[in-house]
Amino acid sequence: MPDGTTSPFTEALLGADVPVIMEVKRRTGEGEELIGERTIAEIVASYEAAGAPCISVVTGRWFGGTDAMLEEVAGLTDRPILKKDFITRESQVAKAKEQGASAILLTAKILPKSSFQKLIELALEHGLTPFAEVAEPAELESVIRAEECVLAANNKDIETQEREPGDLDVSRSLLEPIVRAGSPCPVSASAITDPRVGAELLEAGFKGLLVGTGLLQAECVSGWVEELVEHRHALAAAGG
Average pLDDT, the chain: 94
Mean pLDDT across 17-36: 94
**Per the domain annotation, does 26 fall within a domain?**
yes
Mean pLDDT across 98-127: 97
pLDDT at residue 1 is higher than 80: no
**Per the domain annotation, does 116 fall within a domain?**
yes
Q: CA 201 to CA 206: how far, in whole Å?
A: 6
75-100 per-position pLDDT tens digit:
999 999 999 999 999 999 999 999 99
**Per the domain annotation, does 56 fall within a domain?**
yes
**Per the domain annotation, does 2 fall within a domain?**
no
**CATH number of residue 117's parent domain:** 3.20.20.70
Q: What is the CA radius of gyration of the chain?
A: 16
What is the structure's pLDDT at 160?
A: 53
Query: How many structural domains does the chain have?
Result: 1
Measured from the Cβ of residue 217, the count of other Cβ atoms closer than 10 Å reads: 13
Mean pLDDT across 188-203: 96
pLDDT at residue 47 is higher than 60: yes
**Per the domain annotation, does 216 fall within a domain?**
yes
Which domain, by its residues, includes 123?
Answer: 8-239
**Per the domain annotation, does 1 fall within a domain?**
no
Phi, psi of 204, deg, nearest 5: -70, -20
Residues 6+ apart with CB under 8 A from 165: 191
Spatial contact of 107 and 119, defined as CB atoms under 8 Å apart: no
**Per the domain annotation, does 13 fall within a domain?**
yes
